[in-house]
Amino acid sequence: MSHFDADLKIWSGPISKPIFNTDTNLGELLMFCLNKTPEKITQINADSGATLTCGELRSKSIRVANALKQMGFKTGDIMMIAARNHPDICPALFGCLIIGAPVNVVDVNFSKDDVAHMIQLLKPKMIFCDFDVLEKMVQALIETNHRAHFITFNDYSAKALYIDQLYRVQCDEDNFVFPALDDPSKHTALIMCSSGTTGLPKGVCLSHSQVIHQIQSLPYRKSTEVVLNYSSLYWISGMSVTLQSVMLNFTRVVTTKPFNLKDFYHILENFEITGFFGSPMMFMMALRDPEIYYVDFRFVQNCYLGGAIVSGQLIEKIKRICKINTMAIYGMTESCAVISFNRELTEPEGSVGVLSKNMSVRITDPNGNSLNPNEIGEIQFLTKYRFLGYYNNEEATKDALLADGWFRTGDLGYFDDRGYLFVVGRDKDTIKFMGHQISPNEIENLILEIQGVLMCCVVGIPDELYGDLPAAAVIKMPGIDLNENDIKEKVSNHLSDFKQLRGGVYFIENFPRTVSGKIKVREIREIVIKLYEEKNVK
C-alpha cells in the first residue's frame, strides 16, 4: 500500500532494493540477462510463428554493436528507429545501447514534417527503419539538410544497408568488449518522443540508470509467462515491456500488424498468451463484438491497460465477460514506467491503484503547497533517478522539472484515506462553470456507460456569463438510435446541476488524434464550439 507522511504530505510506494545494478550500461546488462538462459525462447513472431532464443538475440545484438563500431559510430552518437514491432528491431535497439549510443524512436505514422522536426532536433547519425517508410525518412533528411546512414529491416535498397548485413560482419562475440560509461545516471540511453495532445513532440531523455531502476517497478512477471504487447517501441509501454521481458526472462509475442479483433483473438488462443498490455480502446472494441463470447481466454491471467483513463465499468466488464484479472496502469514517458497500478480485485472504482515500488508522489495546489488526502491538485512524482530533461529544450525542462527533483505531470488527482490514487483529468482541460471546477473525465466515464456510445470527449465552451459550458462530443456505434436527450438525461440523473451539459451534445464521425493515438482535445473543442455557434445562431 501507499504510505503517507503526514508531516511532509508525501505518499510513498513500497521500498525495494533493485535486483539489478543501476550503475552500468543498459545494453551490457541486457546481454548478461540473455546469456543466463541461451536456449530459452525470448520472442515469438505472431505473423510467421518464427521464434528467437535468448542466445540468438544476444548474438545478433552484439553483432550489430560490433558492426556499428567498425563503421565508426561511438558512444554519444544518436541513433533513430522508425519501425513497427519487427522481429529484428531488438538487435538494433540493443546494439545501439551496447555502444552507448542514445536511441530515439519515432512512430511510423509520423508525418514527414514531424519526422523532419525530430531529425532537426536530434541530428541522428544512423536511422533504422521499415522499408515502406524509407522514402519518407529520406525526404525529411533532405528538408533538414542533414546527412545520416540508413539500415532497413525488411528489404534491400540502394539507399540503405539491410540489417542482415550487420549480422554478417566478422565478430568475436565471446571476447566482445563492452564500452564503459563514466556515469550511467547522467548518460542518455533513450530519447523518447513526448506524446502530448498539442504541439510538436519533445525528446524525453532517460538515463541508463533511470531505465534500469524504473523497469523494475513494473508489475512483476514470471519467467514462464508469455506476454502480448501491441505497443511499438515508440511508446514507453512498448519499450518498457520489451526491456522487462529480457531482464525478467519471460517470452514476448510481437506482430507488425495493426490491432484488429480477428488477429487479436487468434494470437491470444494460438500462442497461449498469459499477459496482455494494451489500451482501453482495444478491449472496448472487443466487448462490443459478439464474437468475444466464443474466444478462449483460459490462458490469460492478467490484462494491464494504460495510456488513457480506464473506467471502473470497463474493468468490471472484462473481469465478468472474459474472466481476466484486469488492472489499470498510470504512468508517463518521463517516469520511464509505472507510477501506480491496481494490485487487488477489491480496489475502489476509478482508482489507478497504489504507488509502484520506490515511487514518491505528492498532490499540490496552484501555489505548490502539498495537500492532504481527498484534496484534488496536481500530481507530482519523484524517483531516485530523475529524467535528464527534454533534449535541447531548457525552457520546457524547467517548467516540468522542479529544482528539488519533483516532476510536474500536469494531471489532476488525489489520494483517498487508504492510499489509492485517483486521476481526474488534466489541469489545462479542467472546465470552470460559475466557479465550480469540473473534471471532464467524470462526465465522460458516465456517458461511456450508455449502450451504443463508442467514445466521448467532454470540453468547455467559453461563455462570458458562466465561464465554461460543459459540452460532449460523442461517437456512437453504427446503427444505434441515440440522441442528445439520451445523453443529457443520463448526466442529469447522476451528476450535480453545475456538471450538466449546458453546451449541448454533438455526434461526430471521428476524433482528431496525434500520431501516437491520443485524442486532440483542443481540436475537438474547436469543432464543438463551431457546432454550438451554428446551433445557436438566431
- Whether 520 maps to a domain, the answer reads yes
What are the cell numbers at 378? 496536481
**Of 480, 531, 524, whose CA–CA distance to 503 is shortest?**
531
- Whether 384 maps to a domain, the answer reads no
Q: What pLDDT is recorded for position 344?
A: 64
What are the cell numbers at 26? 543498459
- The angle formed by the CA atoms of residues 269, 272 and 275, to the nearest 5 degrees, is 105
Residue-wise pLDDT tens digits, 431-443? 878 767 787 888 9
Band of pLDDT at residue 517, cut at 50, 70 and 90: low
Return the amino acid letter for 75: T
Backbone angles phi, psi at 74, to 5 degrees: -145, 175
Residue-wise pLDDT tens digits, 58-103? 999 999 999 999 999 999 999 999 999 999 999 999 999 999 999 9
pTM of structure: 0.84
Q: What pLDDT is recorded for position 261?
A: 94
Band of pLDDT at residue 534, cut at 50, 70 and 90: very high
Residue-wise pLDDT tens digits, 136-195? 999 999 999 999 999 999 888 888 999 999 999 999 998 999 998 999 999 999 999 985
The residues that bridge with 459 in the sheet, in sequence order, are 471
Whole-number average pLDDT of the chain: 91
Query: SS3 string of 119-167?
Result: HHHHCCCEEEECHHHHHHHHHHHHHHCCCCEEEECCCCECCEEEHHHHH
Residue-wise pLDDT tens digits, 205-245? 999 999 999 998 877 788 999 999 888 999 898 999 999 99
Among 45-49, 323-327, 335-339, 515-519, which range has the highest average pLDDT? 45-49
Q: What pLDDT is recorded for position 516?
A: 58
Distance, in Å, from the CA atom of 243 to the CA atom of 237, rounded to the nearest integer, reads 10
Average pLDDT over residues 271-298: 90
pLDDT above 80 (res 276): yes
Whole domain around residue 169: which residue ranges?
26-42+53-207
Q: What is the largest CA-CA distance in the chain?
A: 80
Band of pLDDT at residue 408, cut at 50, 70 and 90: very high
Residue-wise pLDDT tens digits, 322-375? 999 888 889 989 999 799 998 765 678 778 899 999 999 999 998 999 999 999
Number of domains in the chain: 2
Average pLDDT over residues 366-391: 95
- Whether 462 maps to a domain, the answer reads yes
Average pLDDT over residues 311-315: 78
The answer to whether residues 400 and 407 touch, using CB atoms and an 8 Å cutoff, is yes
What are the cell numbers at 82? 522508425
pLDDT above 80 (res 393): yes
What are the cell numbers at 400? 516540468
- Whether 530 maps to a domain, the answer reads yes
Calculate the CA dihedral of residues 40, 45, 49, 50 and round it to 10 degrees: -60
Grid coordinates 459478439 are at which residue? 290
Residue-wise pLDDT tens digits, 454-480? 889 999 998 877 888 999 999 998 888
From 207, 226, 252, give the residue that closes a domain.
207
- Whether 283 maps to a domain, the answer reads no
SS3 24: coil
From 207, 233, 265, give the residue that closes a domain.
207
- Whether 156 maps to a domain, the answer reads yes
pLDDT above 50 (res 198): no
Q: What is the CATH number of the domain that holds 488?
A: 3.30.300.30
CA dist 430 to 361, 426, 441, Å? 21, 6, 9
Distance, in Å, from the CA atom of 61 to the CA atom of 89, rounded to the nearest integer, reads 10
- Whether 420 maps to a domain, the answer reads no
Q: What pLDDT is recorded for position 441?
A: 83
Average pLDDT over residues 253-279: 94
- Whether 184 maps to a domain, the answer reads yes
SS3 content of the chain, % helix, strand, coil (to 5): 35, 25, 40
What are the cell numbers at 203? 525528446
From 207, 237, 256, give the residue that closes a domain.
207
Q: What is the CATH number of the domain that holds 191?
A: 3.40.50.12780
Positive or negative, the CA dihedral 292, 295, 298, 301 is: negative
pLDDT above 80 (res 426): no
Grid coordinates 514534417 are at which residue? 113
